[in-house]
């Protein structure tokens, strides 16, 4: 009967504790909502990231194509109906996951390459192609669309008595009508009505070695067209029907042209029995992609290659799978896995601090109930009954609140469901129950005679507790070293990322370990400061410091939570600042300056192109870029190298103070002197990449080598080797030389540049692009601002930075709740002490000063080591986080400490602490003095 009465007493207490019970419900529900919503938000972001990745990829890579080199019957329907039906038959083997992504289909039929023996301008090769949708994507500028004249193309044997290429008896050539783009016609010098005599191109792999040739054939250009939208997806990645593709050398160019023919002409072309290039393109809709199906898609695309036999594309009649979608999915899967691992660090930090806040609320609840629990224990309630009642009460409160938070997250966040949401919500519930029951453990298990005694001093640590704390410190150190050594990745070369709870908890574990050490050690300096303060005449400092020394438990949890928050905040600041700084550095390394103007294809920039006349352009540097300049580092070596000849003085002004600053060697800043520049007697100074072309002998500083510039061999002298250089593809060998020396060596002081580097703000992008488009259509502007935006705004990279900032805000909120709880927890003691002091004449100002003295030392002892710890952990762990994925570079990301941002964070934390202390003080002052002195009563 006494046990039942005690249980009833414990359950009835909820009516008298509505405020703190409501606080527990709100805290647990809010925490459950945050952590249940996070996986759903991540699913939403990853779905958007996958669709963004697929959308920005070239359609020729994103889409799925089936290719075949053969000769297919036109079919009974004429035109390309038979070819289209064959493609539909092939598509029946597509797995359902792949077929669900297809939004449209497109057919392309291309003839073998033809050669123009008598070109209008320079060497020309032509292919004829039918492509679905071209007439809808273009407008006819002049002439008409081609039609089939009904004369079949045929072959004749080449041999004795065959009559030669003409076939002997045929005198009139076969005329095939075709249409070209205006850009193609202008480039190769043809007009509407021109006829080009063609023969088979023997260099085409499909007809190489064939004993046949086509009968005399002319291609008549009957129409010229222009695209309605050159930037449409229809053309992206496949502009063969719009542009001439040039090969060869600048002084001996070769043009490859693809002209359009109608579908009705296919039977006439097929009559020649020549092979064709067939391509069935299945357009992938990025909006149908789902990040949860990536694994299935990867397996199905691999299986599709096995079904079509594309593993051996060299065999005749083999259907090839043409797509870059597997590479897109593989890259996304790796980035998503790494983002999950990096975000796990951002999630565990607030989760640990939420535990601290809930622990403080639990301690506050038990302190409020101490008298009631002592009364229940005195009237027959056992410790097991007290704990059991607390367990059921905790399950009721925490379970209901966690369920409310989970349902709110499912309702509010419109995203794909994640099994992590209920798991994290259950974890929040379990942590809350454990903390609420654990806070009651000392009261429930302590002997009745010791229930009202103060806590033991911190320096008197039980051996068992000391072992546990030292174990936590050891685990934190080991996890930090393991994260630095192994990182968040597993597999060959760290290619696959995974979530490892211990490694992800490194910042929190490190902060916890440092907090444990600080909690154990800080009473010593506090007592020393108290001893020094006792020598002063005023009593506020000595009284405040001795209050901390007598009641260290009042500062233990706030000190620990504040140090965790400071360490996590500093860690987050360093990581996010380093990623952003790395993205800026990458943009400069990629472009070479704020803007780069370069020629499209072969040729030079127009002499009339003067971007310095545009308002906002601060500096311009001229140069020459040659991606395949002939290189010879030794005798009989034939190799190519990426040559960058740049005006060193002008480029130094363009890149001054930026990540592209070249820091030229002294030899680059000397003007060319003496005769024979570019010879063995007067070589041109040059910078070489660390990796040289294959077959290059060892080159030391002062050694010479040869590079052909615009077809003229020149001698260069190695003055320095570098691993990277702004604007260069660092994966390929490169050479950098002063443009003025190269120009002097050519003997042509008016050597036209092929590239310009500009220093200008982002606002110049629009006027600059418009100006370049008007002056020279064959030139383009590359902006480092666009390169930075592409990285900075990428969904996965952006969510990592945003998540760390949100995690810091949540950590600060939980820290504030913990400090407010600590202030309220010890409100009765503080009110009683102030009541005694007031009788001694302590003023309100002195009481405020006493509050500051009590809280300033723990804040300083937490913030300074916490910030230093966060920076140190970031330095130790950064190599293992794989941040280069979000920066765009290969290798370790150089850490960057943004001191102003870090100072702002520290100031914000101090402000949060100050507000929390004032709020706690205000709450403690609301208690009546008579209530504070009524100790042990209900």
Cβ atoms of 751 and 742 within 8 Å: the answer is: yes
Q: What is the mean pLDDT of residues 267-296?
A: 88
Distance of alpha carbon 685 from alpha carbon 672, whole angstroms: 10
Dihedral in degrees, nearest 10, Cα atoms 164, 169, 171, 174: -80
Task: Please say if the pLDDT value at position 779 is more than 90.
Answer: no
Residues 6 or more apart whose CB falls under 8 angstroms from that of 928 comprise none
Give the number of other Cβ atoms within 10 Å of residue 158's Cβ: 14
Q: What is the mean pLDDT of residues 513-518?
A: 71
pLDDT band with cut points at 50, 70 and 90 for residue 460: low
Task: Please say if the pLDDT value at position 114 is more than 70.
Answer: yes
Residues 6 or more apart whose CB falls under 8 angstroms from that of 636 comprise none
Q: Check residue 838 and give its pLDDT.
A: 62
Cβ atoms of 24 and 399 within 8 Å: the answer is: no
pLDDT band with cut points at 50, 70 and 90 for residue 805: confident
Q: Which of 25-34, 305-314, 705-714, 833-842 has the lowest mean pLDDT?
A: 305-314
Cβ atoms of 108 and 241 within 8 Å: the answer is: no
Beta strand 212-214 with 619-632 is: unpaired
Q: Check residue 165 and give its pLDDT.
A: 37
User: Would you call 600 helix, strand, or coil by DSSP?
Assistant: coil
Distance of alpha carbon 293 from alpha carbon 829, whole angstroms: 59
pLDDT band with cut points at 50, 70 and 90 for residue 53: confident
Cβ atoms of 497 and 553 within 8 Å: the answer is: no
Q: Check residue 934 and give its pLDDT.
A: 47
Q: Check residue 376 and give its pLDDT.
A: 66
Task: Please say if the pLDDT value at position 315 is more than 60.
Answer: no
In 92-163, DSSP assigns E strands to 102-110, 114-116, 124-131, 138-143, 155-157
Residue-wise pLDDT for 55-96, tens only, equals 888 887 888 888 888 888 888 878 889 999 998 888 888 888
Cα 569 to Cα 280, 424, 564, 894, 908, distances in angstroms: 54, 23, 8, 19, 11
pLDDT band with cut points at 50, 70 and 90 for residue 933: very low
Cβ atoms of 473 and 517 within 8 Å: the answer is: yes
Which tops the pLDDT comparison, 322 or 524?
322
Q: Which of 79-88, 534-543, 625-634, 670-679 has the lowest mean pLDDT?
A: 534-543
Closest C-alpha among 256, 258, 253, 257 to residue 602:
253
Q: What is the mean pLDDT of residues 546-572?
A: 69
- Helix H or strand E segment including 163: none
Q: What is the mean pLDDT of residues 193-213?
A: 81
Q: Check residue 636 and give its pLDDT.
A: 75
Q: What is the mean pLDDT of residues 227-256?
A: 78
Q: What is the mean pLDDT of residues 902-929?
A: 70
Distance of alpha carbon 789 from alpha carbon 586, whole angstroms: 11
pLDDT band with cut points at 50, 70 and 90 for residue 353: confident
Distance of alpha carbon 45 from alpha carbon 918, whole angstroms: 39
pLDDT band with cut points at 50, 70 and 90 for residue 653: very high
Task: Please say if the pLDDT value at position 403 is more than 90.
Answer: yes
Q: What is the mean pLDDT of residues 544-548?
A: 59
Cα radius of gyration (the chain)? 38
Q: What is the mean pLDDT of residues 782-804?
A: 84
pLDDT band with cut points at 50, 70 and 90 for residue 699: confident
Task: Please say if the pLDDT value at position 383 is more than 80.
Answer: no
Residue-wise pLDDT for 432-450, tens only, equals 888 888 777 776 666 655 5
Closest C-alpha among 311, 334, 309 to residue 319:
309
Q: Check residue 169 and give its pLDDT.
A: 46
Q: Check residue 201 and give its pLDDT.
A: 85
Distance of alpha carbon 263 from alpha carbon 77, whole angstroms: 12
pLDDT band with cut points at 50, 70 and 90 for residue 379: low
Cβ atoms of 228 and 137 within 8 Å: the answer is: yes
Give the number of other Cβ atoms within 10 Å of residue 23's Cβ: 18
Residue-wise pLDDT for 852-905, tens only, equals 666 666 777 778 888 887 887 777 777 667 777 777 766 667 788 888 888 888
Q: Check residue 458 and give its pLDDT.
A: 44
Q: Check residue 189 and give its pLDDT.
A: 87
Q: Check residue 426 and give its pLDDT.
A: 92
Cβ atoms of 896 and 578 within 8 Å: the answer is: yes
Q: Check residue 646 and give its pLDDT.
A: 92
User: Can you say whether the dihedral through the CA atoms of 656, 662, 667, 668 is positive or negative?
Assistant: negative
Q: Check residue 546 and give its pLDDT.
A: 59
Which residue in this structure is represented by tokens 């006027």? 767
Q: What is the 3-state secondary structure (H, E, C) of 691-758?
A: CCCCCCCCCCCCCEEEEEECCEEEEEEEEEEECCCCCCCCCCCEEEEEHHHHHHHHCCCCCCCCEEEE
pLDDT band with cut points at 50, 70 and 90 for residue 212: low
Task: Please say if the pLDDT value at position 371 is more than 70.
Answer: no
The b/e string for 400-425 (b: 16+ C-beta within 10 A; e otherwise) is ebbbbbbebbbeebebeebebbbebb
Distance of alpha carbon 364 from alpha carbon 923, whole angstroms: 13
Q: Check residue 721 and give its pLDDT.
A: 92
Beta bridge partners, 138, equal 227
pLDDT band with cut points at 50, 70 and 90 for residue 828: low
Task: Please say if the pLDDT value at position 932 is more than 50.
Answer: no
Which tops the pLDDT comparison, 12 or 675?
675
Distance of alpha carbon 289 from alpha carbon 100, whole angstroms: 9
Residues 6 or more apart whose CB falls under 8 angstroms from that of 493 comprise none
Closest C-alpha among 809, 879, 885, 911 to residue 346:
809
Q: Which of 401-410, 547-556, 859-868 has the lowest mean pLDDT?
A: 547-556
């Amino acid at each position: 009967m006494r046990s039942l009465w005690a249980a009833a007493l414990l359950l009835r207490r909820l009516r008298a504790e509505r405020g703190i019970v409501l606080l527990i419900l709100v805290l647990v529900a809010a925490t459950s909502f945050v952590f249940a919503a996070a996986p759903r938000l991540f699913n939403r972001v990853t779905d958007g990231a996958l669709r963004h990745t697929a959308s920005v990829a070239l359609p020729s890579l994103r889409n799925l194509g089936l290719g075949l080199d053969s000769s297919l019957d036109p079919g009974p329907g004429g035109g390309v109906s038979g070819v289209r039906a064959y493609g539909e038959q092939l598509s029946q083997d597509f797995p359902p996951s792949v077929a669900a992504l297809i939004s449209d289909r497109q057919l392309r039929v291309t003839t073998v390459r033809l050669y123009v023996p008598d070109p209008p301008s320079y060497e020309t090769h032509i292919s004829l192609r039918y492509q679905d949708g071209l007439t809808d994507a273009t407008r006819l500028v002049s002439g008409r669309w081609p039609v089939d004249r009904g004369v079949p193309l045929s072959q004749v044997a080449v041999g004795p008595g065959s009559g030669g290429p003409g076939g002997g008896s045929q005198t009139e050539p076969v005329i095939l009508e075709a249409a070209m783009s205006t850009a193609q016609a202008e480039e190769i010098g043809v007009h509407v009505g021109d006829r080009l005599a063609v023969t088979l191109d023997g260099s085409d792999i499909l007809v190489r070695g064939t004993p046949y040739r086509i009968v005399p054939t002319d291609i008549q250009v009957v129409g010229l067209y222009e695209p309605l939208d050159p930037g449409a997806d229809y053309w992206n990645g496949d502009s063969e029907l719009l542009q001439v593709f040039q090969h060869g050398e600048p002084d001996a160019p070769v043009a490859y042209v693809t002209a359009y023919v109608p579908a009705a002409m296919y039977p006439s072309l097929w009559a020649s029995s020549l092979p064709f290039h067939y391509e069935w393109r299945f357009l992938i809709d990025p909006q149908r992609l789902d990040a949860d199906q990536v694994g299935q898609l990867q397996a199905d695309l691999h299986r599709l290659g096995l079904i079509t036999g594309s593993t051996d594309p060299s065999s005749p009649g083999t259907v090839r799978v043409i797509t870059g979608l597997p590479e897109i999915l593989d890259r996304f899967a790796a980035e998503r896995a790494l983002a999950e691992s990096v975000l796990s660090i951002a999630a565990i930090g607030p989760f640990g601090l939420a535990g601290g806040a809930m622990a403080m609320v639990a301690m506050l609840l038990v302190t409020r109930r101490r008298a009631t629990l002592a009364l229940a224990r005195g009237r027959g309630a056992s410790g097991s009954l007290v704990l059991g009642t607390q367990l059921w009460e905790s399950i009721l409160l925490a379970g209901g609140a966690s369920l409310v938070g989970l349902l709110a997250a499912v309702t509010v966040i419109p995203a794909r469901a994640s099994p992590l949401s209920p798991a994290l919500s259950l974890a929040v519930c379990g942590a809350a129950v454990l903390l609420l029951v654990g806070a009651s453990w000392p009261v429930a298990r302590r002997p009745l005679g010791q229930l009202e005694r103060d806590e033991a001093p911190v320096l008197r640590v039980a051996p068992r507790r000391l072992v546990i704390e030292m174990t936590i410190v050891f685990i934190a150190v080991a996890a930090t070293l393991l994260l630095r050594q192994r990182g968040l990745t597993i597999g060959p070369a760290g290619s696959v990322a995974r979530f490892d709870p211990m490694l992800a908890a490194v910042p929190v574990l490190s902060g916890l370990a440092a907090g444990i050490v600080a909690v154990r050690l800080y009473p010593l300096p506090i007592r020393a400061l108290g001893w020094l303060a006792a020598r002063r005449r005023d009593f506020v400092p000595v009284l405040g410091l001795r209050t901390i020394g007598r009641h260290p438990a009042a500062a233990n949890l706030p000190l620990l939570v504040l140090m965790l928050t400071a360490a996590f905040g500093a860690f987050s600041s360093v990581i996010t600042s380093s990623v952003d700084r790395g993205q800026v550095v990458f943009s400069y390394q990629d472009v070479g300056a704020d803007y780069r103007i370069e020629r499209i294809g072969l040729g030079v920039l127009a002499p009339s192109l003067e971007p310095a006349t545009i308002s906002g352009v601060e500096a311009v540097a001229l140069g020459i870029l040659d991606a395949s300049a002939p290189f010879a580092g030794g005798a009989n070596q034939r190799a190519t190298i990426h040559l960058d000849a740049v005006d060193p003085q002008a480029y130094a002004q363009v890149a001054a103070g930026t990540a592209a600053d070249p820091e030229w060697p002294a030899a680059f800043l000397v003007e060319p002197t003496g005769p024979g520049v570019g010879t063995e007697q007067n070589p041109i100074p040059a910078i070489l990449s660390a990796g040289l072309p294959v077959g290059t002998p060892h080159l030391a500083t002062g050694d010479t080598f040869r590079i052909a510039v615009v077809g003229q061999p020149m001698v260069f002298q190695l003055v320095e080797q570098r691993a990277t250089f702004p604007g260069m593809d660092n994966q390929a060998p490169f050479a950098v030389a002063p443009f003025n020396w190269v120009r002097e060596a050519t003997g042509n002081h008016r050597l036209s540049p092929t590239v310009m580097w500009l220093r200008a703000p982002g606002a110049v992008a629009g006027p600059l692009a418009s100006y370049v488009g008007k002056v020279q259509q064959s030139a383009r502007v590359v902006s480092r601002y666009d390169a930075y935006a592409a990285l900075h705004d990428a969904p996965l990279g952006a969510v990592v930075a945003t998540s760390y900032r949100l995690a810091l805000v949540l950590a600060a909120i939980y820290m504030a709740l913990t400090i407010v709880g600590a202030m309220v927890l010890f409100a009765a003691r503080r009110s009683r002490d102030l009541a005694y002091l007031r009788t001694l004449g302590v003023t309100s100002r002195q009481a405020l000063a006493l509050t500051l003295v009590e809280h300033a030392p723990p804040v300083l002892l937490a913030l300074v080591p916490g910030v230093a710890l966060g920076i140190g952990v970031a330095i130790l762990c950064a190599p293992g986080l794989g941040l280069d994925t979000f920066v765009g570079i290969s290798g370790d990301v150089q850490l960057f400490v943004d001191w102003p941002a870090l100072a702002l964070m520290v100031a914000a934390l101090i402000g949060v602490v100050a507000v929390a202390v004032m709020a706690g003080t205000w709450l403690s002052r609301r208690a009546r003095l008579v209530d504070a002195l009524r100790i042990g009563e209900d």
